[in-house]
């Protein structure tokens, strides 16, 4: 209980500290429902795609309740894992759409995502703590929490199973893909990543809120407390509005990776940089050996994104995977350093119809820390 109290105080302290140096909101003019092509990400211009037009046409509103009905926020195709900033701006205030800032940064970047959330975030967004909503019994970073813990944390954020969820981060597409994968692991498919993230949102002049509401900060704190209570065996305070249903086929363990080295049934894609994959650059985390899992192939996560940090169009994604000898007709598993950027590659594969790509949650932080795991170098 002491840890929970300290966590709440820490959130309150950050809120007080951040509120004294907040930016003013950026105003933006009204935009047409179908924005000009320049609002699209990179060369793909998904804002004007037939998928988005179909989504717009399918969107209906119950005037008596002000809520979306029918197919509503749900895409016409299950393969499309992202939405554009123009789409989000259009439907931002719908009550059954929840927006999550899931920014997370490497320790050496010395950036505090919660403080940055307080300074500027998409209006109405909630903060999803990637490190906090994790397995408290693991010594590995931000490992998946239990079903009960995830359900408790997401319920504390005010999300239920009927909600559509849009996730973004402060880099473009980075940690948001991890949270997209987490929701899918726990059985929630009505989740999308904001293409280009907060940088794209701000580059197009859309409004940001310059201070986190007390409600958003309290919900972030409550989510962290809910996780702590579950792992301490204590009852949670609020009602559980989100039911988690674990999808084991989307998660791989060390033993499954070890077995796959022998069987080679799954193609293994490593999303780390080529120099780390080859064992030529040291790992950013101490105590890890350098190299890669034997038989795996390297596709750095940045290579599935364009210069605007948006997901590449399907034709370019397909070409990129084929260049590395990856067959889209065979099963694939992804990994990286700590299970974050592996999800970016999984996001790209999802666009190509590979909707059941598992991620090795422990990734290189687990594999490289063991003395008995085989390692290959360049």
> What would the pLDDT profile of 257-283 be if each residue is shown by its tens digit?
999 999 999 999 999 999 999 999 999
What pLDDT is stored for residue 378 in this prediction? 87
Structure tokens at 224: 């962290």
Are 344 and 174 spatial neighbours (Cβ–Cβ below 8 Å)?
yes
Overall pTM > 0.85: no
Are 101 and 175 spatial neighbours (Cβ–Cβ below 8 Å)?
no
With tokens 């009905």, the residue in question is 69
What pLDDT is stored for residue 210 in this prediction? 76
Q: Which of 162, 158, 184, 166 is nearest to 87 (CA)?
A: 166
Which residues carry out catalysis? Answer: 336
What pLDDT is stored for residue 79 in this prediction? 79
DSSP class of residue 25? P
Q: Which residues pair with 194 in a beta bridge?
A: 83
Q: What is the rounded distance in angstroms from the CA atom of residue 350 to the CA atom of residue 309? A: 17
Please measure the distance between the N-terminal and C-terminal CA atoms of the chain and give it in whole angstroms.
Answer: 49
What pLDDT is stored for residue 37 in this prediction? 33
Sequence-ordered alpha helix ranges (H) in the chain: 2-18, 50-58, 85-91, 113-119, 147-156, 175-185, 197-203, 214-232, 254-263, 274-277, 314-323, 342-351, 363-367
Q: What is the rounded distance in angstroms from the CA atom of residue 221 to the CA atom of residue 14? A: 11
Angle of CA points 144, 363, 305, to nearest 5°:
95
What pLDDT is stored for residue 16 in this prediction? 40
Q: What is the rounded distance in angstroms from the CA atom of residue 359 to the CA atom of residue 291? A: 19
Q: How many CB atoms lie within 10 A of CB 255?
A: 8
Quote the strand ranges of 38-168, DSSP E.
60-62, 67-69, 82-83, 97-101, 126-127, 164-168
Q: What is the rounded distance in angstroms from the CA atom of residue 331 to the CA atom of residue 106? A: 30
Tens of pLDDT along the chain (378 residues)? Answer: 444 444 444 444 443 444 333 333 333 322 322 233 334 575 333 333 333 444 433 333 322 222 232 345 555 455 799 999 999 999 999 999 999 999 999 888 889 999 999 999 999 999 999 999 999 999 999 999 999 999 999 999 999 999 999 999 999 999 999 999 999 999 999 999 999 999 999 999 999 997 766 888 899 999 999 999 999 999 988 899 999 999 999 999 999 999 999 999 999 999 999 999 999 999 988 889 999 999 999 999 999 999 999 999 999 999 999 999 999 999 999 999 999 999 999 999 999 999 999 999 999 999 999 999 999 998
Q: Is 107 helix (H, G, I), strand (E, B) or coil?
A: helix
pLDDT in tens, 285-297: 888 999 999 999 9
- Give the torsion sign (CA, 293, 297, 303, 304): negative
Are 226 and 156 spatial neighbours (Cβ–Cβ below 8 Å)?
yes
Structure tokens at 218: 């309290």
DSSP class of residue 243? -
What pLDDT is stored for residue 78 in this prediction? 59
Q: Which of 149, 162, 153 is nearest to 126 (CA)?
A: 153
Q: Is 109 exposed, middle or buried (0-12, 13-18, 19+ CB in 10 A)?
A: exposed
Chain length of the chain: 378
Q: Which residues have a Cβ under 8 Å from the Cβ of 63 and sit 6 or more positions away?
A: none
């Amino acid at each position: 209980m002491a840890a929970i109290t300290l966590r709440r105080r820490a959130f309150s302290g950050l809120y007080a500290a951040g509120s004294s140096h907040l930016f003013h909101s950026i105003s933006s003019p009204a935009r047409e429902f179908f924005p000009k092509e320049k609002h699209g990400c990179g060369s793909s211009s998904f804002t004007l795609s037939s998928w988005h037009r179909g989504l717009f046409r399918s969107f209906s509103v119950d005037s008596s309740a002000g809520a979306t009905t029918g197919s509503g926020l749900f895409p016409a195709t299950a393969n499309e894992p992202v939405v554009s900033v123009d789409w989000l701006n259009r439907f931002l205030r719908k009550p059954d759409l929840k927006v999550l800032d899931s920014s997370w940064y490497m320790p050496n970047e010395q950036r505090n995502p919660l403080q940055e959330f307080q300074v500027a975030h998409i209006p109405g967004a909630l903060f999803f703590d990637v490190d906090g909503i994790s397995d408290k019994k693991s010594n590995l970073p931000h490992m998946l929490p239990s079903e009960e813990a995830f359900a408790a944390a997401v319920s504390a954020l005010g999300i239920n199973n009927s909600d559509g969820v849009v996730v973004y981060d402060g880099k473009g597409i980075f940690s948001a893909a991890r949270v997209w994968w987490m929701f899918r692991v726990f059985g929630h498919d009505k989740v999308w990543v904001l293409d280009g993230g907060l940088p794209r949102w701000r580059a197009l002049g859309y409004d940001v809120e310059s201070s986190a509401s007390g409600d958003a900060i309290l919900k972030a704190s409550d989510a962290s407390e809910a996780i702590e209570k579950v792992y301490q065996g204590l009852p949670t305070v609020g009602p559980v509005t989100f039911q988690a249903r674990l999808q084991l086929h989307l998660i791989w363990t060390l033993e499954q990776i070890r077995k796959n080295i022998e069987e080679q049934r799954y193609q293994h894609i490593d999303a780390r940089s080529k120099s780390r994959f080859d064992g030529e650059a040291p790992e950013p985390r101490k105590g890890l050996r350098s190299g890669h899992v034997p038989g795996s192939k390297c596709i750095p996560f940045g290579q599935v994104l364009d210069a605007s940090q948006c997901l590449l169009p399907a034709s370019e994604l397909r070409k990129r995977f084929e260049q590395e000898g990856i067959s889209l007709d065979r099963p694939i598993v992804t990994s990286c350093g700590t299970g974050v950027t592996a999800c970016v590659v999984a996001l790209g594969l999802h666009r190509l119809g590979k909707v059941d790509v598992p991620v090795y949650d422990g990734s290189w932080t687990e594999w490289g820390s063991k003395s008995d795991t085989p390692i290959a170098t360049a």
